[in-house]
């Protein structure tokens, strides 16, 4: 089969190559991939930014999102059968969505929404699961709460706005000038043009902040939250709790405790809880997202679609940080 892979960490975006077809294990489904999508995580993995916590071997097939058709199942699989249209975020240890075939653990797979194309379905798993695990699982957002989401026009932001509104929250976000009206159409109640205003000068007494940006934005987020609020970051710094969940070497846990000590200390002084969320695969949660998509509560957002042969170009495009929603790779 054809696959897009890297041979080592670095700025080189990788290459298309012929590789052996994967063999599904007892609890795996073998999926013929119709589409995948690009995440900033792909770029960070290829550059080696996660090599201490995700010890991949080479050559490494890239890709964290999949939509396609089941062609074979392992003997232990009970939920899926050949011919099922599915989508998934493969478990982090077994990524490989930029390929014609992929074997995925049954527990990570869900039936794709009936009202989406393969390309639309492929745009959802990683960002929708991230939004779900921040807003539903960690923050437990309730009706009437105020939620601020950084970078509302991005992949995670565009889905998180829709999910937060579905949960009954009052939602604020940021974007650049030319995206303000577009982000309002996603459901945001307040949209701040970050080229014209500072968020911390405008917003007050928020219950939850979803941070996906850097240290400066993370610290400014503390000024937006009320006592008892929650600052949840998907871009770091990671915590010792994360190291424990990932079963990392104890020394890494100590390092992560040190890296996050500054923001945790400042948050505590204001009576704010700080948490780091590193999205994990979950077919069960993805099935709930399927229901929301089919009901119209969440709509996939696609900026551009690239052919499989232009995967490196798609990665470069996402790295520039100007995509509205997701960038999709059409594989079949």
DSSP string, 158-171: HHHHHHHHHTT-EE
Q: What is the pLDDT of residue 136?
A: 98
The answer on 111 and 97 residing in a single domain is: yes
The answer on 138 and 119 residing in a single domain is: no
Does 143 reside within a domain?
yes
Q: What is the pLDDT of residue 110?
A: 98
The answer on 51 and 98 residing in a single domain is: yes
User: For residues 167 and 143, is the Cβ–Cβ distance under 8 A?
Assistant: yes
The DSSP code for 179 is: G
User: For residues 70 and 80, is the Cβ–Cβ distance under 8 A?
Assistant: yes
Give the length of the chain. Answer: 332
Does 289 reside within a domain?
no
Q: What is the pLDDT of residue 100?
A: 98
Please state, as a whole number, how many other Cβ atoms lie within 10 Å of the Cβ of residue 14. 22
Q: Quote the number of domains for the chain.
A: 2
Does 291 reside within a domain?
no
pLDDT at 12 over 80: no
Pick from 79, 33, 4, 38: nearest CA to 327: 38
Show the domain range for 219: 126-276
Does 284 reside within a domain?
no
CA distances 122 to 104, 176, 192, 227, Å, are 15, 26, 29, 38
The answer on 162 and 117 residing in a single domain is: no
Please write the tens of the pLDDT for every residue from 175-198: 999 999 999 999 999 999 999 999
The answer on 162 and 24 residing in a single domain is: no
Asked which of 276, 291, 318 is the last residue of a domain, the reply is: 276
Give the whole-angstrom CA distance, residue 21 versus residue 99: 10
CATH number at residue 13: 3.90.180.10
% of the chain at pLDDT higher than 90? 95
Asked which of 276, 292, 310 is the last residue of a domain, the reply is: 276
The answer on 153 and 113 residing in a single domain is: no
Q: What is the mean pLDDT of the chain?
A: 96
pLDDT at 54 over 90: no
Does 294 reside within a domain?
no
pLDDT at 152 over 90: yes
pLDDT at 13 over 80: no
Top-ranked range on mean pLDDT: pick from 13-17, 206-210, 238-242: 206-210
CA distances 12 to 1, 6, 152, 227, 327, Å, are 22, 8, 29, 45, 19
Q: What is the pLDDT of residue 52?
A: 85
Please write the tens of the pLDDT for every residue from 87-110: 999 999 999 999 999 999 999 999
The answer on 197 and 176 residing in a single domain is: yes
The answer on 56 and 117 residing in a single domain is: yes
Band (247; pLDDT cuts 50, 70, 90): confident
Q: What is the pLDDT of residue 305?
A: 98
Does 295 reside within a domain?
no
- Give the mean pLDDT of 147-164: 98
CATH number at residue 140: 3.40.50.720
Least confident of 179-188, 221-230, 239-248: 239-248
Does 281 reside within a domain?
no
Q: What is the pLDDT of residue 55?
A: 86
- Give the mean pLDDT of 225-232: 98
Asked which of 232, 261, 276 is the last residue of a domain, the reply is: 276
The answer on 130 and 15 residing in a single domain is: no
Q: What is the pLDDT of residue 270?
A: 97
Does 204 reside within a domain?
yes
The answer on 150 and 82 residing in a single domain is: no
The answer on 268 and 306 residing in a single domain is: no
Q: What is the pLDDT of residue 225?
A: 98
The answer on 251 and 164 residing in a single domain is: yes
- Give the mean pLDDT of 290-309: 98
- Give the mean pLDDT of 223-231: 98
């Amino acid at each position: 089969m054809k696959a897009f892979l890297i041979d080592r960490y670095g700025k080189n975006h990788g290459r298309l190559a012929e590789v052996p077809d994967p063999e599904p294990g007892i609890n795996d489904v073998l999926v013929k991939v119709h589409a995948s999508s690009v995440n900033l995580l792909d770029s960070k993995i290829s550059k080696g930014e996660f090599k201490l916590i995700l010890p991949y071997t080479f050559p490494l097939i890239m890709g964290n999102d999949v939509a396609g058709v089941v062609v074979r199942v392992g003997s232990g699989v009970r939920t899926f059968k050949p011919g099922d249209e599915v989508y998934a975020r493969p478990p982090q240890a077994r990524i490989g969505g930029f390929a014609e075939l992929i074997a995925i653990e049954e527990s990570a797979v869900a039936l794709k929404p009936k009202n989406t194309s393969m390309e639309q379905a492929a745009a959802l798993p990683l960002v929708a699961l991230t939004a779900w695990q921040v807003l539903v699982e960690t923050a437990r957002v309730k009706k009437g709460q105020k939620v601020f989401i950084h970078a509302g026009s991005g992949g995670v932001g565009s889905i998180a706005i829709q999910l937060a509104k579905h949960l009954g929250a009052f939602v604020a976000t940021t974007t650049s000038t030319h995206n303000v009206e577009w982000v309002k159409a996603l459901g945001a109640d307040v949209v701040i043009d970050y080229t014209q205003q500072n968020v911390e000068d405008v917003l007050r007494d928020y219950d939850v902040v979803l941070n996906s940006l850097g240290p400066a934005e993370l610290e400014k987020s503390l000024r937006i939250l009320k006592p008892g609020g929650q600052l949840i970051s998907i871009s770091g710094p990671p915590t010792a709790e994360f190291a424990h969940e990932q079963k990392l070497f104890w020394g890494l846990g100590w390092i992560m405790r040190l890296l996050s000590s500054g923001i945790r200390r400042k948050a505590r002084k204001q009576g704010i809880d700080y948490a780091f969320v590193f999205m994990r695969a979950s077919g069960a949660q993805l099935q709930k997202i399927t229901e929301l998509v089919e009901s119209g509560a969440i709509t996939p957002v696609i900026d551009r679609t690239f052919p499989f042969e232009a995967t490196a170009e798609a990665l470069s495009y996402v790295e520039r940080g100007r995509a509205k929603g997701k960038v999709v790779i059409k594989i079949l």
